[in-house]
Structure 1
Amino acid sequence: MAAKNLRAENVFKAPAVTGRITTNTFSPREVAKALNVALPIPNDKALDRLSFKGDVAYSPGSADVSNMQLMLDNTTMTGKFGVPDMSKPAVTFDLRGDSFTVDPYIPPKEKEKSDGEGKPAPSDKKKEDDEILPKEQLKALDVDGKLFMASLGFKGMTAENVNMRVKAKNGDITIDPLSMDIFRGTFDMALTTNMAMDQPPHTLKLGIESLDVAQLLSSFQDNPLVGGLARLDLDISSVGLTMWKMLRGMDGSASMGLKDGYVRGINLSKERIEQAKTGKNVFVPEEEKGARTNIPEMTTNLNIKDGIARTKDILVTTDQSGVKLTGGGLADLAEQTLNLDLKAHLGPLALPLTVQGPFSNPKTGVSASGIAEQVLTSPLDIVNGAADGVGGVLGGISGALSGSGEKKTDDGQQPPKQGEGEESQTKPSQEKSPGEEVKKLFEGFGLKPKN
């Protein structure tokens, strides 16, 4: 280590030191090993190389480093930081970095306590009491800083041009902006909270543009079935320290959309729709894995009050079959459940489709009475023309919404295989009404109409 132009004053009373410090490149890991200190980071490629140079200024109660260059492994950081009040401590910084990957520096997770059978030990805590925000630690923060990273990696994801400004004092915290280029799109966020309050208030503004959904999902799963460019505008407020309370107390608005979207593994082409009357599944068999259904447009606007998100303007369009999906409904964000009433438009017919249940496994269904109403108020030739495709289209859409290529009826049973259950069908000698024809198409796709 070298110290250039280092000056010390009032050494015996109130020592103050100024000057420039430069170190050679050394291994923190080897130093810790020599001192018999166990590092919490087992990755041997982390903390392997470190060097530092900068202008330092120390006086009783404060310290500053400017014109800094810090090299840690493959990352270089420049800028300045300081501790203006060591009694709190307060921290200021203005830093710029080239590239940093977080993963090698994360200590391994501790194993959860189990009940002896490999399952997590049961907890008496209610979800309403499961705090996720450390109030006292956040309240004690005294920070004023800026950070820019040209590239930041975490769990296989990479963000570029990461820009953050954070201020925190006496429990009042503001992060504005937090912006980055990620998944080929842009992310821009502003967040405020006040931990000095018994039930801290929070505000969040979030804008996402042209985010590549397939690339996002690829970070969590292989060969994602859904893709497109997503847009989200979110402006919400809430209160609380637990996730459940924050979701239940959420108010605000949201607007979202998807363009150039698609669902792989589902074929809603006109040719496949013609096969709907035979009960052939719109989910693509093994030999047709390359097929997909394009979704040129999907949009909706949400009004959020007390954790309930309501919409009246869901719109989904497909280009191969000409089907259009519209409707509305609500989502309970705290309980994570859906209750949507949709209509599938094919020509002049608008047939009802419901989506209900938990976010993780929603159930779909159709209304026989709604079908009958459409049939009775439409000319016979229109019904017969539309009936050729409606069942196949809705079967595919509902399958995509439920997240499974294997259709089930509302009672959870597998749909009858082709050729089974023929005795329950209308006798061949009886002429089927248009309503029965449409209903048959739905049942052929595992969608049991509700009376």
Structure 2
Amino acid sequence: MKAFGKILGLVLLGLLLIIVAAGFALTHFFDPNDYKDEIRQIARDKAHLELTLNGDIGWSLFPWLGLELHDASIATLIKPNEPYADLQMLGLSVRVLPLLRREVQMSDVRVEGLNLRLNRDKAGHGNWEDIGKLPPSPGAPGTATAPAAGEPTPPAAVEVEKPPQPIRLDIDSLTVNNARVEYNDEQTGKNFSAESIQLSTGAVHDSTNIPLKLTAFLSANQPALRVRTELNGELRIARALQRYQFEDMKLSGEVTGDPLQGKTMTFSAQGQILLDKAANVAEWTGIKISANQLRALGELKVNDLDKTPQISGGLSIAQFDLAKFVDSIGQTLPVMAEGSLSKVELVSRLAGTPTSLALDNINLKVDDSSFSGRIAVDDFAKQSLRATLKADTFNVDRYLAPKSADANSAAQARQAEVASTEADAMAGAGSTPLPNAPTKGAWSTERLIPVERLSKLDVNADLTFGQLTLNKLPIQNAVLKASGQGGLLTLEDLRGDLYGGNFAAKGTLDVRQTSPVLNMQTRINKVPVEKILESQGKNPPIKGQITLNSTLTANGNSQKALIDSLNGNTAFAINNGVLLNANIEQQLCKGIATLNRKTLSGEPRGKDTPFQELNGNLTFHNGVASNPDLKVRIPGMTVNGNGDVDLRVLGMDYRVGIIVEGDTSAMPDPACQVGDKFVGIEWPLRCRGPLELGAKACRLDNERMGQVAAKFATDKLSEKIDEKLGNKVSPELKNALKGLFKR
């Protein structure tokens, strides 16, 4: 037995020596470069590829099947002169014996200078779509021909394939140097490329961690953009379980290009990535993202990968200066107050699909304001925005652009006109001339409504605020419900509490037409009118609680156009008010003193005129409001007015009548005593000038005062007729004489 074993061992040793010798002889005496034409033909016949081998082929046989290709390119048979890939060198070695067990055991795999070109032509056809296809040629082998008429169709052969067993993968390392991938779309003119690709891995084994490092420069031309990237981590592949993990993933880099206006954004992303194809689940946990000043944490999970993917997760953005961040990436925010958007942070849950995204359970802080609720985009393509938010306090004015130069110029011109008029318009003595009607336009012609943006808007908003500051008005418990779609924006509800009163409004804005059309219905209840005017930086001419109901329409795309086309109706009332810096008593006394033919001996002690009620109705026609029924109730008298308010220049022109209603108490000035003979007489005033002056623009109406004096003289003459004639003549004759003097 020992001899047999020794002999068998010698035989096996001899066979091994023969195999080694044969391999040595084969690799040294057989040159694959002599068979390039045959190799190219095999590539054509078996893989339907056009293989070009410009460089040498190096190889080894045992125990490694080694191969090196130099200066090679690959094209499709349809376009053999247009290679879609070429490389400078490919080197790999495979153990021979494990191949028999369907195991691929490879040494280091090296790829140098790979250049991959993907092109979509003007017809939308990609060059990669022709890989493995034969060029069309009628009558060529493999071309399908229809069976002749009357011939039975041969039954289709059914071949049942056994599922292939998975090949075990075992590579010592993979290295790719100086690779390039380019994609060009002739339809759109867009070009994308990845250059200077460097890839290196550790040992590649199934179900074990594979260290990986990848660097590349990415670029695009529309818009011009360039990105430097570096990716590190450990890749784990479990093919039998269809489970792929990227652990300790770290992606970092820099972005430059036209969108950033010459500035640079540095970015990084970290986390653990899992793809489980068997469960149709993907996860990204332990997310850490940074982009310049922005820092964020989160997690994402995607279910139903085989159907419509469903996204869920959470996001937390640490407090950062949004204004500086936007500037650092070359973007510009609208002009705002100093320090706006300097403190922004967000915590929210995420939910979405490939076409939608929702932020739920929002906790958003913007400067001094806190928001909670939900924001969602129901359809990215339609930009369908849905928002349900609740805020403690929010100052809208802080984020609005300041008035334009056009608006400021108009305002300054008007202020100058009002100031020059007001200097001579004080009604204290009542001796100054009637102010002139204003002529300067009060409104800007600057474009006001972003029609193009609003016409594409698809929005539904439900917002509530503990306190909302809008146009310097401190609105409490504010509610805003609005929607917009297809160019029609609807204000369903805007209401709140203001200075102890409240207001509500609703309306529509239609931007589907050439000129935007506005419809508004407004209700104001017991709001101090002087507070509203003071908040706008104006000196109020009146105090009191205003109640107002209006229905108005207008069209245009500037303040001036909207005011010039304003039409509708308004009913208003101001209760328990005061006409400031307007002593109606003094004006009345001057008229009484004139009729008494006396001179006032002193100035009145008060400078304001209190009233119980001020009400009326306004009818708007192209920016001018007609007010035929102004009525003011003052203790002891009634004031009636009839005039116009020209909103185009913020001017007024009123004829006012004051009726003494029986207040016969002695006045401080003897020349202004009111007796029974003055009761029921309407004392005329004329109010003309800038609307801001209010009652300060009122003067005694000398034209109508003559009519009052004539009536007063006639009544006095009638008294004398009665006194002189007594019962000496008949009543008919006395009435005839009185009527004669009244004509």
TM over 0.5: yes
Q: Is the aligned partner of 1:211 residue 2:527?
A: yes
Q: Does 1:330 align with 2:644?
A: yes
Classify the secondary structure of the residue corresponding to 1:378: helix
Whichever residue aligns with residue 148 of structure 1, its letter is T
Match of 1:2 in 2: 297
* Structure 1 residues 281 and 242: alpha-carbon distance in aligned structure 2, compared to 1, 3 A threshold: farther
- Kindly tell me: are residues 335 and 324 of structure 1, through their superposed partners in 2, closer, same or farther at Cα, counting changes over 3 Å? same
Which residue pairs with 2:285 in the alignment? Answer: none
Which residue of the other structure, out of 678, 702, 709, is the alignment partner of 1:366? Answer: 702
Pairwise mapping of residues 255-266 of structure 1 onto structure 2 (< 5 A)?
255-266=571-582
CA distance in 1, matches of 2:407, 2:460: 38
For the structure 1 residues 306 and 293, does the alpha-carbon distance in structure 2 shift closer, same or farther, using more than 3 Å as the test? closer
* 2:360 paired with 1:66: yes
Q: Tell me the distance in 1 between the aligned counterparts of 2:690 and 2:398.
A: 36
The answer to whether the 8 Å contact 1:314/1:328 transfers is yes
1 CA distance for matches of 2:589 and 2:404? Answer: 52
Q: 1 or 2 for the larger relative contact order (CA 8 Å, sep ≥6)?
A: 1
Q: Per-residue deviation at 1:313?
A: 1.7
Residues 1:59 and 1:28: Cα distance change in structure 2 (over 3 Å): same
Q: What is the CA–CA distance in structure 1 between the aligned matches of 2:344 and 2:446, rounded to whole Å?
A: 40
Q: 1:280 offset after TM fit, Å?
A: 6.7
The structure-2 alpha-carbon separation of the partners of 1:201 and 1:145, relative to structure 1 and needing over 3 Å to count, comes to: same
Matched with 1:100 is: 394
Deviation at 1:32, TM superposition (A): 6.0
Q: What is the rounded CA distance, in whole Å, between the counterparts of 1:190 and 1:39 in structure 2?
A: 30
Letter in 2 for 1:352: P
Between the aligned partners of 2:539 and 2:557, the Cα distance in structure 1 is 37
Q: Determine the C-alpha separation between the residues in 1 that align with 2:324 and 2:446.
A: 41
Which residue of the other structure, out of 654, 666, 677, is the alignment partner of 1:340?
654
Pair 1:77 & 2:371 matched: yes
Match of 1:229 among 535, 538, 545: 545
Displacement after TM superposition at 1:15 (Å): 6.6
Aligned residue in 2 for 1:144? 460
- Please give the alpha-carbon distance, in whole angstroms, between the structure 1 residues aligned to 2:400 and 2:714: 64
Residue 349 of structure 1 corresponds to which residue in structure 2? 681
1:33–1:233 Cα change, 3 Å: closer
Counterpart-to-counterpart distance in 2, 1:45 and 1:247:
34
CA distance in 2, matches of 1:252, 1:283: 41
Say which of 327, 351, 355 aligns to 1:57.
Answer: 351
What's the % identity of the aligned pairs?
A: 21
**Residues of 2 paired with 1:143 and 1:376: CA distance?**
71
Counterpart in 2 of 1:295?
Answer: 611
Distance 1:131 1:50 in 2: 31
1:185 aligns with 2:501: yes
TM-aligned CA distance change 1:90 to 1:258, over 3 Å:
same
Aligned partners of 2:649 and 2:332: how far apart in 1?
43
Distance 1:268 1:309 in 2: 24
Amino acid at match of 2:396: V
Distance 1:175 1:326, change over 3 A: same
Contact 1:103/1:154 (<8 A) preserved: yes
Task: Give the Cα–Cα distance (whole angstroms) in 2 for the partners of residues 114 and 178 of structure 1.
Answer: 28
Following superposition, the deviation at residue 75 of structure 1 comes to: 1.4
C-alpha contact 1:297 1:317 (8 A) present in aligned 2 = yes
SS in 1 for 2:449: coil
Deviations 1:179-228 (A, max 9, x none): 11112211111111211123443221000011112322332448745311
- The whole-number CA distance in structure 2 between the counterparts of 1:140 and 1:298 is 45
What letter is aligned with 1:348?
Answer: G
Preserved contact between residue 628 and residue 642 of structure 2 (Cα < 8 Å)? yes
String of CA shifts for 1:212-264, please: whole Å, max 9, x gaps: 12322332448745311111110122333344444444332210111110134
C-alpha distance in 1 between matches for 2:539 and 2:563:
31
**Equivalent residue letter for 2:573:** G
Greater shift, 341-350 or 26-35, is seen at: 26-35
User: Secondary structure in 2 aligned to 1:46?
Assistant: coil
User: How far is the alpha carbon of 1:172 from its aligned partner?
Assistant: 0.8
| Matching residue of 2:712 | 375
CA contact (8 A) 2:540 2:692 kept: no
Letter in 1 for 2:545: L
TM superposition shift of 1:163: 0.6
- Report if the CA contact (8 A) 1:265-1:283 is conserved: no
Assess if the C-alpha contact under 8 Å between 1:77 and 1:98 holds in 2: yes
Is the Cα–Cα contact under 8 Å of residues 350 and 374 in structure 1 kept in the other structure? Answer: no
Q: Contact 1:351/1:374 (CA < 8 Å) preserved in 2?
A: no
Name the CA distance, whole Å, in 2 between partners of 1:376 and 1:313: 29
Give a deviation string over 1:47-103, Cα, whole Å, max 9, x none. Answer: 333321212123323211111111223211011111122224221111110012234
Q: 1:310 aligns with which of 626, 630, 635?
A: 626
CA change 1:223–1:133 in 2 (3 A) is closer
> Given that residues 451 and 511 in structure 2 are in contact (C-alpha distance below 8 angstroms), is that contact kept between their aligned partners in structure 1?
yes
Q: Secondary structure at the match of 1:19?
A: strand
In 1, the alpha carbon distance for the partners of 2:322 and 2:707 equals 71
Q: Is the 8 A contact 2:348 2:362 kept in 1?
A: yes
**TM-score for the superposition, normalised by structure 1:** 0.68
| Maintained 8 Å contact 1:152/1:160 | yes
Q: How many angstroms does 1:36 deviate by?
A: 8.5
SS state at 1:23 partner: strand
**Number of aligned positions between the proteins:** 366
Task: State the alpha-carbon separation in 1 of the partners of residues 570 and 452 from structure 2.
Answer: 31
Aligned-partner Cα distance in 2 for 1:34–1:238: 42
* Cα distance change on mapping 1:282 and 1:154 into 2, 3 Å: farther
For residues 170 and 253 of structure 1, do their structure 2 counterparts lie closer, same or farther at Cα, with a shift above 3 Å needed? same
Distance in 2, Cα, partners of 1:110 & 1:70: 31
Unaligned runs of 5+ in 1: 120-124, 383-451
Matched-pair contact (CA < 8 Å) for 2:657–2:684: yes
Provide the C-alpha distance between the structure 1 equivalents of 2:556 and 2:327, rounded to a whole number of angstroms: 44
* Residue type at the aligned position of 1:349: I
| Structure number with larger C-alpha Rg | 2
- Corresponding residue SS for 1:372: helix
Q: Secondary structure at the match of 1:52?
A: strand
**8 Å Cα contact 2:626/2:645 also seen in 1:** yes
User: Hey, what's the Cα distance between the residues in 1 that align with 2:692 and 2:540?
Assistant: 16
Q: Residue type matched to 2:315 in 1?
A: I
Task: Identify if the C-alpha distance between structure 1 residues 130 and 216 changes in structure 2 by more than 3 Å, giving closer, same or farther.
Answer: closer
Q: Name the SS of the counterpart of 2:453 in structure 1.
A: helix
- What is the SS of the residue equivalent to 1:217? helix
SS of 1:348 mapped into structure 2? coil
Asked whether the equivalents of residues 646 and 652 of structure 2 are also in contact (C-alpha less than 8 Å), the reply is yes
- Alpha carbons of 1:228 and 1:283: their partners in 2 closer, same or farther (altered >3 Å)? farther
The change in CA–CA distance for 1:378 and 1:242 in structure 2 (over 3 A counts) is: farther
Deviation of residue 265 (structure 1)?
Answer: 3.9
